[in-house]
C-alpha cells in the first residue's frame, strides 16, 4: 500500500487534509498530504511505506469528520492503454487481495467529473465481468471492497476499503429521494444522519418516543421524526407545515430555541438552527449535561475560514461541559453529503 485516499466535499480538501494529518500523528504515523482545491479528494502518504496498512487498520473511518470515504491505495496508475485498460487494473487489484466482496468504479463528486462518470458507467460492465472471470469476486461480505477511482479516463487509483470501517455507499454518497410530503429539503440531512450514525434499523428511533426540534419551522427535521411515529415538540417562532400539525403528534411552541427546556426529559433533541457553531455546541452540551435528553442530532454551520479549528473548538466545548458534569457520552461528527457549509453532530448520553 502506498497511501490513504479520502473522498471529501469539493472545497473542503484543506480541512480533510488537516484532519487526516492530525489523526495519523496521534497514531505516531507521520507523512504528507497531497491535494488541490475543489478536486474532492485528498491523499495522505506516510513517510514509511509499511505504515499505510497499519494506519488503514487502526484509523476509524467514523472518527473522520470531513472524509466521505477512506481507502488504502497503490501508487497512481497513469497512461492506461485506451484499447485495454482492464488488464493493468486487474493486475493491480490482484496484488491487493485474493478476492473482493464488491468492486466500485468511482470519480470525484465535482462538476468536472460528471463527463468522466459517463465513461465510468460504460466501462463498469466489462470490468466487473473480467473481475469475475479472473476469480477475484467473492460472496464473503467481510472480504475487502475493491475501488477504482478515476482521475481521468487513463489515470486511476486502485485500492481497497474494509466493510465496517468505510462508507457503505459508492463515492460515499447515499442516494436518497426527496419525499414530496416533506416541507423542506433539509429533511434529507436528518435522514442521512440517521442512516450514517444509527444504521438501517436503529433501535433508538422507536414509535412513541418523545423529541424536541429546536428551530423546527417549517418542519423538515420534524417530518423525519413524525414519519417514525415519534411525538415532537417543534420549537420555532416561524410557521410550521399544516400537514405536520394535522398529524396530531406535533406540538408547536413559539419561542426562542435557546430558552426552551422540556418539562420532562425527552428521548431526542434535534437542532438545525442557523447560529454560531459554538453557541449550538454549548446548547447541546447543556441539554445532555442537565439530563433533558438522551440523544441529540445537530448541525454546526461552519465559518468560511478556519473551519477545522472551529469544529475542534465545538468538540472541546461539548467534551468539557459533559466531563465537568461527570456525564458519560459518545460524540461523533460527519460532514454528510446533504450538508453544505456545515457538519452534523451526534451526541449520546451513555
d(CA 289, CA 275): 21
Give the helix/strand (H/E) hosting 342.
Answer: strand 342-349
Torsion of CA 111, 113, 115, 121, to 10 degrees: -130
- Cβ atoms 271, 190 nearer than 8 A: no
d(CA 115, CA 96): 29
* Nearest one of 134, 126, 59 to 100, comparing CA atoms: 134
Backbone angles phi, psi at 133, to 5 degrees: -65, -30
Backbone angles phi, psi at 27, to 5 degrees: -90, 10
d(CA 56, CA 156): 20
The three cell numbers locating residue 138 = 467473492
d(CA 153, CA 213): 46
Q: Sheet containing 231-235: which strands, arranged edge to edge?
A: 250-253, 231-235, 210-214, 266-271, 293-301, 342-349, 329-334
Backbone angles phi, psi at 168, to 5 degrees: -85, 5
* Catalytic residue status for 301: yes
Block residue for cell numbers 428551530:
215
How many residues comprise the chain? Answer: 350
- Cβ atoms 215, 257 nearer than 8 A: yes
Give the active site residue among 210, 227, 301, 312: 301
- Cβ atoms 39, 16 nearer than 8 A: no
Helix (H/G/I), strand (E/B), else coil: 226: helix
Q: Which residues are catalytic?
A: 301
Amino acid at each position: 500500500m502506498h497511501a490513504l485516499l479520502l473522498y471529501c466535499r469539493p472545497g473542503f480538501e484543506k480541512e480533510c487534509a488537516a484532519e487526516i494529518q492530525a489523526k495519523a500523528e496521534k497514531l505516531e504515523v507521520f507523512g504528507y498530504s497531497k491535494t488541490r482545491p475543489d478536486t474532492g479528494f485528498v491523499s495522505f502518504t506516510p513517510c514509511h511505506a509499511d505504515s499505510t496498512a497499519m494506519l488503514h487498520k487502526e484509523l476509524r473511518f467514523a472518527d473522520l469528520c470531513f472524509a466521505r470515504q477512506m481507502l488504502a491505495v497503490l501508487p497512481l496508475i497513469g497512461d492506461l492503454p485506451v484499447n485495454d485498460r482492464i488488464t493493468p487494473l486487474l493486475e493491480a487489484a490482484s496484488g491487493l487481495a485474493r478476492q473482493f466482496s464488491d468492486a466500485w468504479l468511482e470519480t470525484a463528486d465535482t462538476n468536472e467529473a460528471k463527463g468522466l462518470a459517463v465513461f465510468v458507467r460504460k466501462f463498469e460492465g466489462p470490468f466487473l465481468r473480467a473481475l469475475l472471470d479472473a476469480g477475484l469476486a467473492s460472496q464473503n461480505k467481510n472480504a475487502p471492497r475493491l475501488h477504482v477511482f478515476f482521475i481521468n479516463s487513463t489515470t486511476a487509483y486502485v485500492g481497497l476499503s474494509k466493510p465496517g470501517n468505510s462508507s457503505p455507499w459508492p463515492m460515499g454518497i447515499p442516494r436518497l429521494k426527496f419525499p414530496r410530503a416533506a416541507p423542506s429539503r433539509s429533511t434529507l440531512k436528518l435522514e442521512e444522519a440517521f442512516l450514517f450514525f444509527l444504521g438501517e434499523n436503529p433501535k433508538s428511533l422507536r414509535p412513541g418516543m418523545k423529541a424536541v426540534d429546536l428551530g423546527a419551522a417549517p418542519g423538515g427535521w420534524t417530518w423525519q421524526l413524525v414519519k417514525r411515529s415519534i411525538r415532537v415538540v417543534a420549537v420555532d417562532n416561524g410557521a410550521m407545515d399544516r400537514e405536520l400539525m394535522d398529524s396530531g403528534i406535533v406540538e408547536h411552541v413559539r419561542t426562542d430555541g435557546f430558552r426552551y427546556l422540556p418539562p420532562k426529559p425527552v428521548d431526542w433533541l434535534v437542532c438545525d438552527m442557523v447560529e454560531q457553531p459554538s453557541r449550538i455546541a454549548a446548547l447541546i452540551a447543556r441539554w445532555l449535561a442537565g439530563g433533558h435528553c438522551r440523544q441529540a442530532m445537530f448541525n454546526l454551520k461552519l465559518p468560511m475560514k478556519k473551519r477545522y479549528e472551529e469544529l475542534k473548538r465545538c468538540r472541546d466545548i461539548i467534551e468539557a461541559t459533559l466531563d465537568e458534569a461527570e456525564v458519560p457520552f459518545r460524540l461523533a461528527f460527519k460532514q454528510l453529503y446533504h450538508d453544505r457549509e456545515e457538519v452534523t453532530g451526534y451526541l449520546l448520553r451513555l
